[in-house]
Amino acid sequence: MAHDKTLTLKVKRQKDASSAPYWEDYIIPYQPNLNIIAALMEIRKEPKTAAGAVTTAPVWEMNCLENVCGSCTMIINGKVQQACTTLVDKLQQPISIAPMTKFPVVKDLIVDRSKMFSNLLKVRAWIPIDGTYDLGAGPRLSEAERQKNYHFSQCMTCGCCLEVCPQVNDHSNFIGASAIGQVRLFNHHPTGTMNKDERLEAISGDDGVTTCGNAQNCVRACPKEIPLTEAIAEMNRDVTVFKFKKFFGG
């Protein structure tokens, strides 16, 4: 069905990390149920500006398009979210699309989130199994505990929680809610709990859990509705106990 209606997209672009950003507008045909990814894909089919000048298509990250891979995080009309789940029909127009601000820009809408993965390395977010050889069944776990842990195991390292956190800024190296949530996850696993002090140590420094300012923005921004503030509160208590014990050589 042909629609005469059009949409205007305003995209914040930047050639590379050292260039100045600029805004470029595009007009694309409207369709019902359009999401931001499909709207951006329209630009690629005939890259020209709203004024009609030939241009290059903006670049962005995407992959699964169903809110499980964490690739397509952007700031859309001022709100950080996954571009794939953001439906055009629910947005005010013109629609503005910009890269996240708490990570270095690579190009256009792509930012460098490698810091988040380094943080997972830092907090040792894994179960240190003895080996992959067959050792029979894993530990038993109650379904109730499993459900609590599952909230945290859905974290897709998308970066929304860091983007909205006032403590993540140029003057602070705060590790952020995502990594703290992972410490919570692994410290509650029947095997992972055996190494919980290593992870608590990793979030006990200046960049760790005590830097949280309790703004609670993270939990509201999380596309997976992970109870991040609960994890932060709990890990804060655990770090206090850990430090106390460490101080007294316990």
Helix ranges restricted to H, 127-207 = 143-153, 160-163, 177-187, 196-202
Q: 38 vs 233, which CB is nearer to other proteins?
A: 38
Q: 8 vs 118, which CB is nearer to other proteins?
A: 118
The sign one gets for the Cα dihedral 41, 95, 81, 34 is negative
Q: 24 vs 212, which CB is nearer to other proteins?
A: 24
- The tokens describing 62, both together, are 């995407």
Least distance (Å) between residue 212 CB and other proteins: 24
Q: 76 vs 212, which CB is nearer to other proteins?
A: 76
Q: 127 vs 233, which CB is nearer to other proteins?
A: 127
Q: Which residues contact 5 (CB under 8 A, 6 or more apart)?
A: 29, 30
Least distance (Å) between residue 103 CB and other proteins: 13
What three-state secondary structure class fits 66?
A: coil
Least distance (Å) between residue 80 CB and other proteins: 16
Q: Which residues bind other proteins (CB under 8 A)?
A: 15-16, 31, 33-35, 37-38, 41, 44-47, 54-57, 59, 61-71, 84-85, 87, 106-108, 110, 113, 117, 120-121, 124-129, 131-132, 134-143, 146-147, 149-150, 153-154, 156-157, 186, 189, 191-192
Least distance (Å) between residue 81 CB and other proteins: 11
Residue closest to 67 by CA, chosen among 165, 178, 155: 155
Q: 17 vs 241, which CB is nearer to other proteins?
A: 17
CA distances for 135 relative to 74, 91, 130, 188, 190, angstroms: 43, 52, 9, 21, 16
**What is the chain's alpha carbon radius of gyration, rounded to the nearest angstrom?**
21
Type of residue found at 147: Q
Least distance (Å) between residue 22 CB and other proteins: 15
- The tokens describing 81, both together, are 């979210």
Q: Which residues pair with 48 in a beta bridge?
A: 54
Q: 139 vs 250, which CB is nearer to other proteins?
A: 139
Least distance (Å) between residue 213 CB and other proteins: 28
- What is the distance between the alpha carbons of residues 232 and 65, in angstroms, rounded to a whole number? 29
Least distance (Å) between residue 162 CB and other proteins: 15
CB 199 within 8 A of CB 123: yes
